Structure formats: structure tokens, C-alpha cells
Amino acid sequence: MTETHCPYCALQCAQTLRGEPLAAEPRAFPTNVGGMCQKGWTSAEVLGVADRITAPLRRVGGGFEAVSWDEALDDIASRVTAISGESGPDAIAVFGGGGLTNEKAYQLGKFARLALRTRNIDYNGRFCMSSAAAAANRSLGVDRGLPFPLTDLNDADVVVLLGSNLADTMPPAVQHLGPVRERGGLIVVDPRRSATARLTDGGAGEHVQLVPGTDLVLLLGLLHIVLAEGLADVDYLAARVDGVEDVRRSVAEWWPERVAATTGVPETQLRRIARTLAHASPHGGGRGAFLLTGRGSEQHADGTDTVTAVINLALALGLVGAERGGYGAITGQGNGQGGREHGQKADQLPGYRMIADPAAREHVAAVWGVDPDVIPGPGVPAVELLMSLAQPDGPRALFVHGSNLLVSSPDAQVVRRRVEALDLVVVCDFVPSETAMLADYVLPVTQWAEEEGTMTGLEGRVLRRRKAVDPPAGVWSELEVFAELARRLDAPGTWSTKPREVYDELRRASAGGRADYAGISYERLDAGEALYWPCPDESHPGTPRLFADAFPTANGRARMVPVREVGPDDGLRAEAPVWLVTGRVLQHYQSGAQTRRVARLNDSMPRAYVEIHPVLAARIGVEGVDDIRITSKRGSMVAQARVSPDIRPDTVFVPFHFADEGMVNAVTNAATDPISGMPEFKVCAVQIAKEDA
Amino acid sequence: MKVVVVGAGMVGNRFVDELGRLAPQVEIDLLGDESYEPYNRVMLTELIAGRVDLAGLTLPTPDHGRVRVRAGVRALEIDRERRTVVTADGDFAYDVLVLATGAQARVIPVPGLRDGLPRGAHVVRRLDDARDITAATLNASDAVVIGAGPLGVEAACALRHRGIAVTLVAASDLLNRDLDPEVASVAADQAASLGIEVVTDAQVASVGVHAGRVDAVHLADGRTFPAGIVVLACGSAPDTTLAAEAGLDTNVGIVVGHDLRTPADLAVCAIGDCAETPAGVSGLVAPGWAQARALARSIAHASELELPTVAGSAMRLKAVGMSVVTMGARTSTARPDDRVVTLSDRRERRHVELVVRGDTLVGVTCVGAPDLAAHLSTQFDRPGMLPADPMHLLMGTSGIGATESASPTAMPAATTVCRCNGVTKGDLVHAWDGGATTVEALADATLATTGCGGCTQLVCGIVDWLQTTDPPPVPTTSQPDGSGRETTVPTR
């Protein structure tokens, strides 16, 4: 029997693995409260999928042949050396993932900088958390998805979910919305009446069904009302926040009638929500309010500013750092939190240190046992990196770890062509994902129940992942892959293959950084302590709640930042008169590389669909289960209609977990946020038509 | 390059903001004759209503580095020879001069108002006007608002919101520029329901003044209304004085071409309420902002300017207790082959009108329907993909499908009960038949209730229903243990 956590999302449901064959069952834990969704229940089935890769594969013509590890690693190392010698080390690119353990994410960043000597590393978390991270860093001085335990939601009067469908993405978390629903205080902002939006039915709260891409305007309008009607917490603002005056002015132009005309949200609802929030806030005598963002409000070309507008609102109401209340981003990927802290990001070193900061470089270089000058400078964010592949002066080789970027990237057909043009593609995976199928080498690696490590959940609490079974013969841990390649590439530093040793090195590297893990040991975690970073030493209890006394900014105060409406990059026009929004379904995780291989999940959701309003369906002559073709400037896809009044009549929705004809990321827009590099997955203009059978 | 902007209203301020962003190297002086920082004029009636305070009106001031805002500096003269604006605080040289002087409130020339405004009589144009009216409400108990345009209606509602007895007097129907007569009467009903006395077809004969203060408004037909406050909302006229004195062509407004420049002097531009473009004068903020943006771009990029067209100007009343939104065409202005769809609900003081031309919604009128107005605003002038039957636009975003039955008895077998684990009612019935006759046993057999637990009540209901209709040999029910919380990870 092994106590571990689910392999999928950032809720990291506690689970017990036992039996033969191994099966998962839920375990009592504060975040999942003994619950688990069907992805978790069936998680052990991925261990034994029929097409599990158990030997290194080398591309031969149109197919693959199994080769020995030595043969594969020798050839990879010599080809890397050759490319690097011809074109410089930046010709090697690395693409990581938010599902990797802290140990693997840390070691991947180190591998890129010390063994490959490249600055060109980034990861798929750029597609998830980067806007929320950039905004929180800018305004609050630190980015920890939820700067409070998830269970705090139970005590609130109001919880606002902006662009989060957690009833589908992390169902057991819905339990923490129970009390606030009983108080009628759940507010869900979503263009769709999603499963989460339905939780507001029957007096449990309200659904704000705004026009896609107008989240920022909605927030400017709410702050306008809060300030205009004197609902702000002026004492808090005076004591703890800078920049209030500039922000006050910036929202003066967004009076409710104007906001209503842009967002489609009636003025009466805007005023009601602003007042409800104020009454729920500490200065209004309430039990507290939480404003939470998901990808729906973040995956925009103005995503950082949208999150900033949420933070401005939370600050105006005196929520951030209050005993009950605050702003949080609901992290998506399993280790989306830890994965963005320890060096996979183009501009970062472990401990959420910035790679351009000389003091940070010196600290990390000392831990790595190298001269600081050995560490390359900052690289470029994910979309820019992917689009530069095999371009003149762009990377010629690519390592992929824990990511199926051919399905999960925006404008994915272009990304495919870029990857196809590379001289060398090495993919570490345990199944032949769409991306692995393009590789020159596929290296078979361990998955969750086959390895030890740590994950950092959506609350910033560090969790232990524990090994329950041995991996199949021929499968290696990525730590072994890094060590063996580092040795062949004559890399400096030490390259342990033991997760505990790598983690202890991570602790030293993160010590003194914003995400300080120094005091969080395997021993303390295994003894059952609930440890949230920062935790600077082993006697420190960890930090479940940030900001109680001060903000980790230069002057200890939070900063309100004025932001401007920009609107979607790809706007409606006669040739593209319908909004497309994308999202997730309960049965699948991310690109579906794992969940599409689980029969029980795939049988109930085997392919993509197009959610469409009956009025719009009638307009294009679609009935029942007809196929719909969706076309944008970039590409097109086809999927079956799912006619539903739950979506706005000017918008269609498609889940993004699918490949081939049903791959909606062939249609989405690769325009990025200028600050975070986040692509605008969540809204673009499309043409729709009935697809003849 | 030096740019001088005369007029720090909403359009002048926006222009400076845009140009400052697009061309950080340009030096800009923004001259405003009011002593306040630029503020949101559109919300003056909200200030009177008390729904916003003064600080909430202040606009972002683009005052930094090469951009300077000169509050309280009145432009006295334009010296086009020297390319200089003369003020009491010195001369401001320009390469480009932008006139954003806005409009002046019109004062009707009747006895009582001819020799300047007596105490108690106010226009609603500037911040001081709104502050004076607000102050006057402390002592006055009744007010007459003259004028039935949006400003008059907003002012009337604002004063009524403050508990003042209000009479709204006008020569025309309410909001007659935006509403057809029948619809105007619905709006008038709304105003009346708030306690505002609406007097239309009225000619004001004079304003009674006693000891230098207004005390009444007299109509030509002999009727008299007592008035501690008189608000004049009788329209406005573009402020062209400065331009005319500088020898520039003025008509209704300052005449400019498609490039927003005066034909006589291409170094001088005019935008906002004071400008008369080939499309006419606007008097609304949205077209003014569009002009500000277009001109800023053209100056910053030294490019051709394309005169922005703002489709069918929108009117959105900001009045406490009333909701009127209009955009584009209406019944009387629709073309013969337009489709006009009307919803008339007189008793609820509600009226909605849509004009559809081809595949585009070109007209919206919503009186007393704020929720629908918000939705239709987002559909207005949107290219293509209107519902096949425009009637569906009247349903907003709401569904037209059937709602699912939540009763365990009536719900179809295919209905999903447990979303987290994809368990249908049929699956539960099947498990029951297989011997799982308690909630716990059903959870074991189907995993229902083991995700978020949100379906527990429903599963209990199904158990109750099955026990009645198909009782097991030894009937038992049990509740799942809900106390699964703990604060730390259990030790291994």
C-alpha cells in the first residue's frame, strides 16, 4: 500500500495505491476531502497501457526501431555536440512541462544551463500560469497560486471564479464551495453556463455570462463602482497599498452603462456584484471574499493586465492578506506551481530567482559548483521559442520533457512544421504522444507511481509523490537520462539520480529565494507536516498564508497598477463572425496523451465536440449530431455539434484535448501577452459551417 | 514636434493620452480653462444623483515628461502667423494645434434668463455646475428641469433621487431625438412612476425671479411650476469662438475635412463636440474618442487619417430608476426592406425594438429592459451570423431548451447523476439490481458520490425512490461519512 497523490491536476488528490494490478482509491486530505474524480480513479490504468514505450526508439525512415540506451545516448550526445559546435549552444532548445516533479523540473533547468549550455529553455506552464504569475509578481511581490489554503474558501461569504471551470477540471475542489453556496455567494464569470456556472443555480449565487474577451472591462467596471460608491477599504489602502490614485483615475472612464455595452453584463448585475463583494469584505463586516482566476481570464493577449485588474479589485476591497479573503490563481497542471519555481522558465533559476540577477546567479552557481559566468542568460518564452525552431539563427535541436506540445500549443499546425524542420528532436515520454511520434529519439521514462519525488500543489503546499511499483524493464527515470547525457557532454557539476539528493540540492539552491524550500525536507513531509513555502529552515513552520503583515516587495506595500482595455487580438469581422473559446472536459487531462489511453475515460469522451447554441446551430443549418467545421485565419478543425443553450449564441466552445481533425489548437491564436508571453488560447474569431458527411 | 491642445475635456484629454503613448518624443501642452484636473463630464448627472463622488470622476492625467497639463489656463487667442496660442500665463508655440474646445450649454432667451443666470438657475456642463446644483438641493424642495434630452432626463432623475419634487418641462416628447413618439410615452411613464411630473408640448414663457433667485417657471399656456432650482438642459452649441476669431471657417462647429484639419490651416485640427466634420457635429463622447485616437495615430505615424465612422451613435441613459438605450435605426428611420421586430409591454413600462438589415442588427431601442439592452449592445453592428429568426435576439443569452428534471423519479435513465465519475441514473439502477441497495454500496459499485460529493443528495433520493418501488430484502439506508477532513497528511 502506497500513499501518494494523483498524477493529474494541481489539486493533487491524495490517493492510496494498492492491489495487483495496482488500483487507486481516494484518501482523506484537506484539498480533496476524500474525493476523487474519474481521472483519479482510473489513473493506475495508464501504468499498463498497451502502447507503453519500454525501450529507446530511434527514427528509421517512417517508423522507429528499438535501440539500447547506450546507443541512443551516445548518438544524441554526439549530435548535440556537433550542432552545438557548428551553431553554438543556443542551437539546442529544451521544452519542459508543468507535470514534472520538482526534482525533475529542477534538474532539467540545470541540465539545459550546464550540460547543453543553452539559454533556450521554456515550458508548457507558459501556456497556463504565466499571466497570473507576472501579475502577482508585479503587484504583490510573489507568485504563489493560492496564497492561502484552499480550505479557507469554506469560511467566505463570497467566492468569485473568473474563467475557471473547476467542477470539470478539479471536481473534488467543489466541496470547498459548499458553504459559500449555502450563503448564496458563489459568483462564476464565464461565457458558458459551465458545470461550475451551474453551481450558482437555485439561489447559490450568480452566473455572469459575459462576452468572450471582455473580462478586463468587466473588472474595470466593478472597480469603478467600488470606488464611485465609496465601497473601498480606504484604511487598508492607505496602510498597505501604493498606486491607488492612478488606478482610481484609470477606471473613471468605465461607468456601468459603458461596461454593460461591451461585456453584455447588465448594469444592475454589475452594481449588485460590486455591493455584494463590499459587504462580504472585512471592512464591510463580512466573513471575507475570494477572487480566483482560471485560464479563462488569463489566456489572453491582455491576460497579465486582466489578472492585475482582479488584484486591483481585491486590494480595493482590502482582501489581500486579510484573515479571510484574497486573490488566487487556480493552478492547472499537477506541478504547475513547483514547475514554475525551479528553473524551467526562460528567465528563472531555482527558488523563483531571476536569471539576470547577478546575486541570484552567484548563489545558484555556488550550489551547482560552477562559475556564475557558465550560466547562460535569459531565453525567450515558449511561443517565441517554438516559432523560432529551425528558423535561420533559431534552434536546430529540441528536447521535450513532460509535454505534448504538438497538441497543446496555439496555432499548432505551424508548430508542427517548425518541429518537423529540426535536425534533432528528443522526446522523453512514457507513451507515443503526438509529439513523440515526430521525434528522432523517444526515450522511455517513468511515470508517477514508478517514482519518488515532490509536487507543489495549487496552494503552495509541498506534497510527496511515492513509488508504488517498479517501472517496466528498459524504462529510466529522467534523472538518469540527465546524468548520463551530462556525463557524455562533459558537463560540470554533480548529477545525482536519487530524487532525495536532487531535492536536497534544490532546497539549497532555493534557499533565500522567493520560493524558499530550504526547510522542507522529505523527513518532515513523510512525518505528515503540512508545509507551504516559503519555509527557510527546518524549524520554520512554513507559510500557509502570505501577506498577513507585509508584501514581499521593496517597500513592503502592494502595488496597484493601472491597466487599459485592449480587447481580443483576433476580432470579429464578416469572414469570422463568431467567437471561439476553448477549455477542458472532466474526462481528459491536458493534451489527452494519458487520458485518451484510458478506456473508461475515452469511451465516455472519445473525441472533440463543438458546443453551440440552438439559435446559432439553426442559423448554419446544423441539427443534432451534425459535424461543424471551424475555420480561422490560421487553420481549421472538425467536430460533432453538441447543441446546448448553455453557451452564448455568438460563441462556440471546443475542448482542446484532442489531436488530428478534432485539434482545436490548429485554429487558436498564437498572439501573446507582451509581459507574460501567454498565448491567447481563450478567444479568437472564427467562421463556422456545417460539414457535409 | 510641439503639439498644443486647447480644451482638457474628455476628448482633449484622451487625445493627449493616446499621442503621449504613441509618440513619446512629441512635446504636448494641454490647456484647460477649468481649474480642475481633467474629469469625466459624462458622469456629472451621476454626481448630482450622489452615485459617484468627485474623486471618482477624475481622469488619468497624462502629465509626465514631455506632456504637461495646464489646468486653469484659458486660451485667449490663436496667432496663426506665429503658430502660437496666447494665454494669460504666457504663449504656447505649436507645430500642430488641436482644438477640443467642446460645446457651450444653450440658455433659452426668455425673461428671467436674459441677463445672465439668476441664482438657482443652472446649466449642466461643467463640474462647478454639478457641484452648485448638488449644493442647492440642500435648501430647495422643488425643481424644474427644462429640456427632454438625455441630459434633462438624467438631471431630473438625479434630483428626484435626492428627494426633490421635480417637474420636467419640454417642448417635445421625452428623448424625442432618440425615441419615436409612442416609445417616448413609455419612457415618460417610467419617469412618472418615479414621481417626476412630465410636461411636454410646453413653451417656457419666462422664469420667475424673486430677489435675484429663481422661484418659478411660467409656461405660455399660463401654467406655473414652483422651482427652487431650475436646470437648463436645452442643448448645446459647439464652442467655435477661438477658431472664428482666428479666421478659421466655422459653421455649426469648426469646419474640418476628413483629416480633421481645418482646410485654411493644416496645422490646426479640431476634434470632439467643437468639430464639424463632413459627417457633421456629434455631441457624443464615443465619436469624439474615436477622432482623438485617429488623429493621434495619424500624427504619431505621420500617416493618412481615415475619418472614423461610429456606427449609429448609441445613447445610454444614466438615470437612477430609468433605463433607456438606443442605437442606430428605429421604426421611423428604418428602410422599407428592414425587418423591424417590436416587443411592447406597456404595463411594465417596457418596450424593445430591433431593426435588422440583411444579416446585421442595425437598430436597437430598449426602454425599461436593461438586461436585454446589455446583450443587444454586444450584438449591434456585429458582422454576420444573426439568428435566422431575429425574434431570438429578444431572448438574450438565455437558453430556449428544456431544463433537466431534478426529480429522481422523472429523470431519464441516461441522465448523469455523478458528473465526477460519469455515473448515470441507469447505472445506479443497474447496480441496485445487482444488490447494491445502500448509498455506500452504490458508491462502491459505481463510484457515484466519491468525487465532489455534490450528487449525494440525489443518490439518496434515488435510493429512497428505489426502496419504495423495488425494496431490497433487508432495506437499509445509510449516509456516507462526511467527516473526511483532517489537517495533515497521515503518517505512513
Position B371 pLDDT exceeds 50: yes
pLDDT number for residue B486: 33
B213, pLDDT greater than 80: yes
Contact flag A263-B378 (C-beta cutoff 8 Å): yes
CB-based contact B51 A618, cutoff 8 Å: no
The stretch A290-296 carries a mean pLDDT of: 97
Q: Which of B191, B210, B234 is the last residue of a domain?
A: B234
Q: Establish if B318 belongs to a structural domain.
A: no
Regarding whether B358 and B263 lie in a shared domain, the answer is: no
Contact assignment for A525 to B489 by CB distance below 8 Å: yes
Same fold, A2-48 and A130-334: no
Q: Is residue B48 part of a domain?
A: yes
**Cβ contacts (< 8 Å) between A274 and chain B: which residues?**
none
The predicted pLDDT at position B399 comes to 47
Residue B485 has pLDDT above 70, yes or no: no
Contact at CB, A586 and B57, closer than 8 angstroms: no
Q: Are residues B35 and B83 in the same domain?
A: yes
pLDDT at res. B312: 60
Distance CA B164, CA A392 (A): 74
List the grid coordinates of B406: 431534478
- Using 50, 70 and 90 to split pLDDT, how confident is the model at A267? very high
Mark whether B226 and B241 lie in a shared domain: no
B489 pLDDT more than 80: no
Residue B225 shares a structural domain with residue B250: no
Which residue of A3, A15, A37 is the best one to mutate when testing the B interface, meaning the one whose CB has the most B CBs within 10 A? A37
Q: Provide the pLDDT for residue B484.
A: 34
Nearest-CB residue to B488 (from A171, A268, A528): A528
Where helices occur in B29-117 by DSSP H, the ranges are: 44-49
pLDDT in tens, B163-192: 999 999 999 999 999 999 999 999 999 999
* A648 → closest Cβ in B397, B485, B492: B397
Mark whether B433 and B387 lie in a shared domain.
no
Residue B207 within any structural domain of the chain: yes
Q: What is the number of H-type helices and E-type strands within chain B?
A: 11, 28
Residues A507, A520: contact at Cβ < 8 Å?
yes
Residue with cell 495533515: B488
The CA-atom distances, in angstroms, between A177 and each of A159, A409, A520 are: 8, 32, 30
If you write DSSP's letter for every residue of B202-222 in order, what string do you get?
A: --EEEEEEETTEEEEEEETTS
The 3-state DSSP class for residue A548 equals: coil
Which residue of A573, A614, A619 is in closest CB contact with B400? A614
A37, A530, A574: residue with CB nearest B451:
A37
Which residues on neighbouring strands pair with residue B90, listed in sequence order? Answer: B87
pLDDT value at residue A516:
97
B20 in Cβ contact with B28 (< 8 Å): yes
Residues 6+ apart with CB under 8 A from B8: B30, B31, B32, B34, B38, B69, B71, B100
> What is the grid cell recorded at A40?
483519479
Residue in the structure block whose three cell numbers are 491524495: A14
How close is the nearest chain B Cα to the Cα of A172, in Å? 4
CB–CB contact B316 A257 (8 Å): yes
User: ∠A303-A307-A311 over CA atoms, to 5°?
Assistant: 165
Closest Cβ–Cβ partner in A167, A261, A600 for B377: A261
Burial annotation A155-187 (CB, 10 A radius, 16+ → b, else e): ebbbbbbbbbbbbbbbbbbbbbbbbbbebbbbb
The full set of domain ranges for chain A reads: 2-48, 57-128+336-497, 130-334, 578-691
B453 grid coordinates: 460529493
In sequence order, the β-bridge partners of residue A401 are A428
Which whole number is the average pLDDT over A88-112?
98
Q: pLDDT at position B286, please?
A: 87
Of A418, A384, A251, nearest in space to A673 by CA = A384
Contact B270, B262 (CB under 8 A): yes
Contact B374 A260 (CB under 8 A): yes
Q: Do B399 and A645 touch (CB under 8 A)?
A: yes
B96: which residues sit within 8 A by CB, 6+ positions away? B1, B2, B3, B4, B267, B268, B269, B299
Task: Kindly report the nearest CA distance between residue B472 and chain A, in angstroms.
Answer: 28
Q: Mean pLDDT check: name the lowest of A172-176, A508-512, B60-64.
A: B60-64
Residue B421's pLDDT is 86
Q: What is the largest CA-CA distance in chain A?
A: 71
Taken in order B318, B321, B327, B333, the sign of the CA dihedral is negative
Residues of A in contact with B319 (CB under 8 A): none
Return the pLDDT at B487.
35
Q: Above 50 in pLDDT, residue A36? A: yes
What ipTM describes this predicted complex? Answer: 0.86
pLDDT at B403 over 70: no
pLDDT tens, residue by residue, A45-65: 999 999 999 999 999 988 999
The answer to whether the bond into A614 is cis (omega within 30° of 0) is no
For residue B371, the chain A residues in CB contact (below 8 A) are 266, 268-269
Domain at A130-334, CATH class: alpha beta
In this structure, the answer to whether residues B100 and B174 fall within a common structural domain is no
pLDDT of residue B455: 87
Give me the residue from B57, B314, B452 closest to A171, CB to CB.
B452
Of B419, B484, B492, the CB nearest to A586: B419
CB within 8 Å of A307: residues ≥ 6 apart: A131, A132, A134, A135, A136, A293, A297, A298, A329
Of A36 and B400, the structure prediction assigns the larger pLDDT to A36
Q: Which residue of B has its CA nearest to A212?
A: B378
| pLDDT band per the 50, 70, 90 thresholds, residue B284 | confident
* A650:B385 CB<8 A: yes
> How far is the alpha carbon of A423 from chain B, nearest alpha carbon, in Å?
42
- Are A35 and B379 inside 8 Å of each other by CB? no
Question: Nearest Cβ partner of A577 from B53, B385, B491?
Answer: B385
Indicate yes or no: CB of B489 within 8 angstroms of CB of A3: yes
The answer to whether residue B338 sits within a structural domain is: yes
Residues in chain B closer than 8 A to A264 (CB atoms) = 374-375, 377-378, 397
Judge if B390 and B426 occupy the same domain: no
Residue range A57-128+336-497 in CATH 3.40.50.740: yes
Local structure of A633: helix, strand or coil: coil
- Could you tell me the three cell numbers for A95? 521544452
Number of domains in chain B: 4
Q: Quick one: pLDDT at residue B473?
A: 62
Please write the tens of the pLDDT for every residue from A161-170.
Answer: 999 999 999 9
- Residue B473 class from Cβ within 10 Å (0-12 exposed, 13-18 middle, 19+ buried)? exposed
Between A and B, how many residue pairs show a Cβ–Cβ distance under 8 A? 200
Task: Give dist(CA A256, CA A43) in Å, integer.
Answer: 47
CATH code at position B188: 3.50.50.60
How much is the mean pLDDT over chain A?
96
Identify whether residues B32 and B135 lie together within a single domain. no
CATH number of the domain enclosing B445: 1.10.10.1100
Q: Which of A36, A257, A312, A605 to mutate to test the interface with B (most CBs of B within 10 A)?
A: A257
Q: Count Cβ atoms below 10 Å from residue B49 Cβ, excluding itself.
A: 23
The helix/strand/coil state of A576 is: strand
Whether B258 is covered by a domain: the verdict is: yes
Q: How many CB atoms lie within 10 A of CB A473?
A: 7
Residue B12, C-beta contacts closer than 8 angstroms, at least 6 positions apart: B5, B6, B30, B32, B38, B98, B100, B102, B271, B272, B292
CA distance A576 to chain B (A): 8
Cα gap A367→A405, rounded to integer Å: 32
Please name the residue that has the C-alpha cell 503639439: B3
Q: How many CB atoms lie within 10 A of CB A587?
A: 24
Closest CA to A403 of A144, A121, A623: A121
Q: What is the pLDDT of residues B13-67, one digit of tens each?
A: 999 999 998 998 899 999 999 998 889 998 999 999 998 888 888 888 776 788 9
Of A246, A577, A615, the CB nearest to B383: A577
Query: pLDDT tens across B408-460, in order?
Result: 777 788 888 888 888 988 999 999 999 999 989 999 999 898 888 888 888 99
Is the pLDDT reported for residue A24 higher than 70?
yes
What's the pLDDT at B326? Answer: 96
Single out the residue of A150, A195, A201 nearest to residue A37, CA to CA.
A195
Provide Rg for chain B, Cα atoms.
32
CB half-sphere exposure, A93, CA atoms < 13 A: 29
On the question of pLDDT at B488 being above 80, the answer is no
Contacts of A252 in chain B (CB under 8 A): 39-40, 43, 56-60
Task: Write a three-state SS string for B112-171.
Answer: CCCCCCCECEEECCCHHHHHHHHHHCCCCCEEEEECCCHHHHHHHHHHHHCCCEEEEECC
Closest residue on chain B to A227 (Cα): B56
Judged by DSSP in three states, A13 sits in: coil
Cβ of B451 and A249 within 8 Å?
A: no
| Residue range of the domain that includes B431 | 416-469
How buried is B178 (Cβ within 10 angstroms: 0-12 exposed, 13-18 middle, 19+ buried)?
A: buried
Is B439 contained in some domain? yes
CA distance B58 to B56: 6
Query: Quick one: A689 exposed, middle or buried, by C-beta within 10 A (0-12, 13-18, 19+)?
Result: middle
Digit-coded pLDDT (tens) for A538-585 = 999 999 999 999 999 999 999 999 999 989 999 999 999 999 999 999
Long-range contacts of A372-375 (CB under 8 A, 24+ apart): A374/A113, A374/A114, A374/A117, A374/A492, A375/A113, A375/A114, A375/A349
B144 and B88 in one domain? no
The three three-digit cell numbers of residue A390, written as one number: 529551425
User: Does residue B478 have a pLDDT over 60?
Assistant: no
Which of A136, A166, A128, A131 minimizes the C-alpha distance to A150? A166
Q: Are residues B217 and B129 in the same domain?
A: yes
| DSSP designation for A282 | G
Closest CA in chain B for residue A265: B374
Does a structural domain hold residue B306? Answer: no
Task: Report the residue of chain A nearest B289, measured CA to CA.
Answer: A253
Last residue of a domain, one of B205, B234, B263: B234
Q: Within a domain: residue B424? A: yes
- The confidence band for B308, taking pLDDT boundaries of 50, 70 and 90, is confident
Instruction: Give me the residue from B57, B60, B382 closest to A246, CB to CB.
Output: B60
Strands (DSSP E) contained in B18-62 are 27-32
- Give the CATH number of the domain where residue B345 resides: 3.30.390
**Mutation target vs A (from B63, B127, B372, B385; most A CBs, 10 A cutoff):** B385
Of B374, B454, B492, nearest to A174 by CB-CB distance is B454
- Alpha-carbon distance A561 to A547, whole Å? 18
Note the pLDDT of residue B311.
Answer: 57
Q: Which of A3, A9, A253 best probes binding to B when mutated, by most B CB atoms within 10 angstroms?
A: A253
Q: What is the CATH number of domain A578-691?
A: 2.40.40.20
Whether residue B137 contacts residue B159, with contact meaning beta carbons closer than 8 Å, is answered with: yes
Report the gap between the CA of A311 and the closest CA in chain B (Å): 19
Q: Is the pLDDT of residue A138 over 50?
A: yes
Give the phi and the psi of residue B219 in degrees, each rounded to 5: -95, 160
**Chain B environment of A260 (Cβ under 8 Å):** 316, 370, 373-374, 377
- The answer to whether A313 touches A291, Cβ cutoff 8 Å, is yes
The Cα–Cα gap between B356 and B367 comes to 18
Q: Are residue B138 and residue B221 in the same domain, yes or no?
A: yes
Boundary of a domain, candidates B366, B395, B424: B395
Task: Check whether B491 has a pLDDT greater than 60.
Answer: no
Name the residue type at position A243.
Answer: G
- Residue B42: list chain A partners with CB under 8 A: 255
The reply to whether omega before A534 is within 30° of 0 (cis) is: yes
Q: What confidence category does residue B135 fall into, taking pLDDT thresholds of 50, 70 and 90?
A: very high
**In this complex, do B52 and A228 lie within 8 Å of one another by their Cβ atoms?**
yes
B340 and B360 assigned to the same domain: yes
Query: Do the beta carbons of residue A197 and residue A206 sit within 8 Å?
Result: no
Q: Looking at the structure, give the CATH architecture of the domain made up of residues A2-48.
A: Single Sheet (2.20)
Shortest CB distance from B58 goes to which of A27, A174, A249? A249
The CB density around residue A19, as the number of other CB atoms within 10 Å, is 12
Q: Of all residues in chain A, what percent carry a pLDDT higher than 90?
A: 98
**Cβ contact, residue pair B419, A195, below 8 Å:** yes
Cell 555536440, residue located: A81
Sign of CA pseudo-dihedral B412, B417, B419, B421: negative
For residue B401, what pLDDT is reported? 43
What's the distance, CA A6 to chain centroid?
A: 16
With CA atoms as reference, the chain A residue closest to B371 would be: A266
